[in-house]
């Protein structure tokens, strides 16, 4: 069975004294991993909003590995967020940082380097209850910038391959990875076996605007998926399109039918890890609830394909 | 304990190759029933959006029965949807089809023939995320048309009785079955013991407009209920009535208090089957979650009425 | 482990015959307590919307105690609602009533007398689907009225202390207990050890208007908390602030992260009872679901602080 990992949204990036988790002693890292283990997780995604492996020296990186190993929670991916390699000002710095992260992820025993094209929050996003309800960055309609994205992702993908990692690019609105078609086109243009999509369609169905059909998006993107951020939202729309609303929900209850999507992914040969993600409320609790739900789906899918194979 | 059945919303009516489940080989039907059984269901409602028993010849009907029997999932009802017997154009055809469905339902060993007055989706409903947010068909304020509905339902009800079936009419907005009072009046005008209501109040509390009080609706309609589509929605309204929003939810969490409603139905002597229904998301998973919840309610209700009887 | 009690929202205040639960024979009270016990509760809050202990004579009060004791469900608090001691018309009557309630609560073996400054529903609140979406009472910006609140709460607090009770004041919008700062200031002005806050932040995050950050509200109010109404809501806001929507949810799934809040309360030494509260739907069922969830949180918190203490 594929690995099911938790995200780190449920852990505070900075403690009450103002100390960042990144700078905290290894004991604080142990507490994080122990809490994930207590909830039943044996895998975790290291988000660089919380810990930046690229910025840890060898000793601290070993401490991080040891803390994880001691609790039985394996880091499966390092996720670099909002540090786009085509950021107009910081793109080159972000590229250097991404390279360093790939090496650190390999040192941690991860199998995935995860990133995307989303950029830092706008002021409106920072003020919003949910950042996805406010306008943010939009990638320019400029073939040269897109070509730069392709070139830099190819460079990172080759590096990742050389250290045994997959690289996965997260779908995110208003970037070159913002629609099913544009995301697939970008992956195809990068053209490397170890570079695939993270079909995080949850990012898209929560938007306060018209959306693509989630079933069609998965049908197009799942064949290219090599990592998978899973979350779900309830959603309602005015009949006349004058408003849209969404709320974080469980995998079972939200708009996306994960039962059919997971079955379809299995048919298509998806073998990557699953990352449980949840914004708001008890993120860790919902991630654990979702893990148990997903385990049920995977068991049902396995049983049904074994029975079909007879 | 009454039977608890699953709806078929969680199954694809047409597979990826374009083959309709109705036309698929019996193996495909077996897969459907097996998935319901795997989730713990021993009863299912055959929806004619998926399989039209009236359009199966004797051999295929036997195959359908056999597929169900082999998995231990009994078809308890055939549900004819959006084929109103007072459709201005197709009413007579729909009447003929309803008669044929009653015979097929009896052949399948069902106990209920289920239908209603809702008509095919409007273009706006087809385009909407949730069809209930867009305007649809409205039955005319015309005593002759209503009398025709009564006459044809009486004819169908007599046929159903002659083959040992209940007939149940589903409450649905903007039809003669759209309010508690009008639904009860229609049942009383039909005036047959085996013809009752399906108090699918979930259809009404999800509407983006002012609604009747659900408690009052159940109080009026439960005495006439002989089948029961159960689903629930969360709901919010602007304080000034300028907007309404709803989202599919679990039986436990939505607006309707099924704990008190099920207790009230038991007091009133309801003995019909319960049909778990859910739109959106993992319909099958939520139906199974709801079945376990309902089993708890029924157990509590039974325990309390036994204790009360001492 | 602290006590976890259920609210009475799931029980009908008046039965179908028009008989108020307050006036009902003790057998009806037994039925209520038995249903709470059946759901796993061993503690309950007596809400004076349902039973007014102050208005029961000694015999009836003994019957109430006996009914509770027989089912193993202990009344831990009496909650006086919408009877503000600074009501312009009824303030003095409400003060007398509060005193009588304190004595009755002590006689029932409660540990908490719970009240607040909210006043009777406005006509708009009575008409609304959810009362919190319509405008209600606002405490005047008048130092004399506020001083009267302080004086009367001090008087009640001293009485409560004299019979061994805590007094807890519930946070509620548009009253002197409506923001974190104003609520803390009121408690400090009352200045008694046995008088604290009920940080019912759920009351505030459900409002259809801009809200304070729930984390900051808890950080300010938890140090003063001595009783705790717990409920949660999902919430969405338009990016431009033109609308706000909320829906009753489970403790795990709503906006507030109770995992981190309960941990923080434990760090701060909170030792009061927890009261499960839910509006709409199956209030009792959700309260029981929330109790099991909270038990998990408390177990995790205890395990983690014991491990930290080694």
Complex confidence, ipTM: 0.96
Whether the CB of C255 is below 8 Å from some CB of chain A: the reply is: yes
State yes or no: pLDDT of B271 exceeds 60.
yes
Nearest CB to C237: which of A38, A129, A234?
A129
Strand A232-237 with A244-249, pairing:
antiparallel
Distance from CA of C227 to the nearest CA of A (A): 21
Q: Do B281 and A238 touch (CB under 8 A)?
A: no
What subunits make at least 3 CB pairs under 8 angstroms with C? A, B
**Using the 8-state DSSP alphabet, how is residue B196 labeled?**
E
Q: Which structural domains are found in chain A, ordered by start?
A: 4-309 (3.20.20.150)
pLDDT at B310: 37
Terminal CA-CA length for chain A: 20
pLDDT at A305: 64
**Which region among A159-163, A301-305, C128-132, C159-163 has the lowest average model confidence (pLDDT)?**
A301-305
State yes or no: pLDDT of C308 exceeds 80.
no
Q: For the residues of C153-205, what is the DSSP string, one character each? A: HHHHHHHHHHTT-EEEEE--TTSTTSSHHHHHHHHHHH--TTEEEE--THHHH
Distance from CA of A193 to the nearest CA of B (A): 27
Nearest CB to B259: which of C124, C243, C282?
C282
Whether the CB of B128 is below 8 Å from some CB of chain A: the reply is: yes
Chains A, C: CB contacts under 8 A, how many? Answer: 68
Alpha-carbon span C243 to C233, nearest angstrom: 16
State yes or no: pLDDT of B270 exceeds 70.
yes
| Residue A136 contacts residue A82 (beta carbons within 8 Å) | no
- Which residues from C are below 8 Å from B253, CB to CB? 248-250, 281-282, 286
Comparing CA positions, the residue from B9, B91, B77 lying closest to residue B288 is B9
State yes or no: pLDDT of C310 exceeds 60.
no
Q: CA-nearest residue of chain C to B244?
A: C245
Q: Which of the residues B204, B232, B257, B305 would you substitute to probe the C interface, choosing the one with the greatest number of C C-beta atoms within 10 Å? A: B257
R_g (Cα) of chain C, nearest Å: 19
* Per-residue pLDDT tens over the stretch B40-89: 999 999 999 999 999 999 999 999 999 999 999 999 999 999 999 999 99
Q: Compare B24 and A307 and report the one with higher pLDDT.
A: B24
Q: Do B253 and C281 touch (CB under 8 A)?
A: yes
Distance from CA of C64 to the nearest CA of A (A): 38
Comparing CA positions, the residue from B277, B266, B284 lying closest to residue B203 is B277
Q: CA-nearest residue of chain A to B290?
A: A253
pLDDT band, very low/low/confident/very high, at C306 (cuts 50, 70, 90): low
Q: Do C252 and A281 touch (CB under 8 A)?
A: yes
Whether the CB of A276 is below 8 Å from some CB of chain C: the reply is: no
**Mean pLDDT calculated for residue range B177-185:** 98
Beta strands in chain A (DSSP E): 4-6, 43-47, 74-79, 112-116, 166-170, 195-198, 228-230, 232-237, 244-249, 274-276
pLDDT at C307: 57
* Per-residue pLDDT tens over the stretch B199-246: 999 999 999 999 999 999 999 999 999 999 999 999 999 999 999 999
Distance from CA of C1 to the nearest CA of A (A): 19
Q: For the residues of A82-144, what is the DSSP string, one character each? A: S--TT-TTTHHHHHHHHHHHHHHHHHTT-SEEEEES--PPPHHHHHSSSGGGS------S-HH
**Mean pLDDT calculated for residue range C124-140:** 97
Q: What is the maximal distance between C-alpha atoms in chain A?
A: 60
Nearest CB to B243: which of C35, C243, C289?
C243
Whether the CB of A52 is below 8 Å from some CB of chain B: the reply is: no
Other C-beta atoms lying within 10 Å of the C-beta of residue C277: 26
Q: Do B258 and C282 touch (CB under 8 A)?
A: yes
- Which residues from B are below 8 Å from A249, CB to CB? 281
pLDDT at B306: 60
Q: CA-nearest residue of chain B to C134?
A: B239
- Which residues from B are below 8 Å from A258, CB to CB? 281-282
Whether the CB of C239 is below 8 Å from some CB of chain A: the reply is: yes
pLDDT at C300: 86
pLDDT at B302: 76
Whether the CB of C122 is below 8 Å from some CB of chain B: the reply is: no
- What Cα–Cα distance (Å) separates residue B146 from each residue in B98, B116, B176, B186? 18, 13, 7, 9
Give the three-state DSSP class for B11.
Answer: coil
Whether the CB of A264 is below 8 Å from some CB of chain C: the reply is: no
Comparing CA positions, the residue from A190, A261, A192, A193 lying closest to residue A232 is A261
Alpha-carbon span C79 to C97, nearest angstrom: 12
Q: Which residues have C-beta within 8 Å of that of residue C16, sequence separation ≥ 6?
A: none
Q: Which pLDDT tens digits describe chain A residue by residue (310 residues)?
A: 469 999 999 999 999 999 999 999 999 999 999 999 999 999 999 999 999 999 999 999 999 999 999 999 999 999 999 999 999 999 999 999 999 999 999 999 999 999 999 999 999 999 999 999 999 999 999 999 999 999 999 999 999 999 999 999 999 999 999 999 999 999 999 999 999 999 999 999 999 999 999 999 999 999 999 999 999 999 999 999 999 999 999 999 999 999 999 999 999 999 999 999 999 999 999 999 999 999 999 998 877 666 544 3
| Residue C9 contacts residue C248 (beta carbons within 8 Å) | no
- Which residues from B are below 8 Å from A218, CB to CB? none
Whether the CB of B252 is below 8 Å from some CB of chain C: the reply is: yes
Whether the CB of A232 is below 8 Å from some CB of chain B: the reply is: yes
Q: Which of the residues B206, B236, B246, B248 would you substitute to probe the C interface, choosing the one with the greatest number of C C-beta atoms within 10 Å? A: B236
Q: For the residues of C46-57, what is the DSSP string, one character each? A: EETTT--GGGS-
pLDDT band, very low/low/confident/very high, at B300 (cuts 50, 70, 90): confident
- What Cα–Cα distance (Å) separates residue B118 from each residue in C107, C122, C149? 59, 39, 58
Alpha-carbon span A96 to A100, nearest angstrom: 6
**Mean pLDDT calculated for residue range C5-12:** 98
Q: Do B280 and A236 touch (CB under 8 A)?
A: no
Whether the CB of C258 is below 8 Å from some CB of chain A: the reply is: yes
Alpha-carbon span A263 to B302, nearest angstrom: 38
Strand A195-198 with A166-170, pairing:
parallel
Q: CA-nearest residue of chain B to A233?
A: B281
Q: CA-nearest residue of chain A to B288?
A: A252
Which C residues, 288 through 307, put their C-beta within 8 Å of a C-beta on chain A? Answer: 293, 300, 303-304, 307
Comparing CA positions, the residue from A73, A84, A81, A18 lying closest to residue A51 is A81
């Amino acid at each position: 069975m594929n690995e099911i990992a938790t995200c780190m949204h449920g852990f505070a990036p900075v403690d009450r004294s103002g100390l960042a988790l990144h700078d905290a002693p290894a004991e604080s890292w142990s507490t994080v991993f122990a809490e994930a283990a207590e909830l039943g997780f044996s895998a975790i995604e290291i988000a660089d909003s919380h810990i930046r492996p690229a910025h840890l020296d060898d000793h601290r990186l070993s401490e991080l590995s040891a803390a994880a190993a001691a609790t039985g929670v394996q880091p499966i991916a390092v996720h670099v967020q909002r540090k786009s390699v085509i950021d107009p000002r910081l793109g080159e710095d972000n590229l250097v940082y991404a390279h360093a992260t790939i090496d650190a992820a390999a040192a941690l025993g991860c199998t995935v380097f995860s990133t995307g094209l989303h950029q830092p929050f706008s002021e409106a996003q920072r003020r919003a209850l949910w950042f996805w309800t406010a306008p943010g960055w939009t990638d320019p309609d400029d073939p040269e910038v897109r070509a730069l994205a392709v070139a830099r992702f190819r460079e990172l993908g080759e590096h990742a391959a050389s250290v045994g990692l997959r690289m996965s690019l997260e779908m995110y609105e208003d970037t070159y990875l913002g629609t099913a078609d544009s995301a697939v086109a970008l992956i195809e243009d990068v053209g490397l076996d170890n570079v695939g999509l993270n079909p995080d369609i949850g990012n898209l169905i929560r938007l306060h605007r018209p959306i693509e059909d989630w079933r069609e998006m998965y049908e197009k993107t799942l064949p290219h998926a090599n990592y998978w951020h899973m979350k779900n939202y309830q959603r309602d729309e005015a009949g006349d399109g004058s408003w849209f609303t969404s709320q974080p929900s469980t995998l079972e209850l939200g708009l996306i039918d994960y039962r059919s999507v997971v079955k379809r992914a299995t048919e298509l040969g998806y073998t990557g890890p699953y990352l449980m993600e949840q914004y708001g409320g008890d993120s860790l609790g919902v991630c654990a609830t979702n893990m148990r739900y997903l385990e049920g789906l995977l068991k049902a899918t396995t049983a049904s394909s074994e029975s079909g194979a007879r």
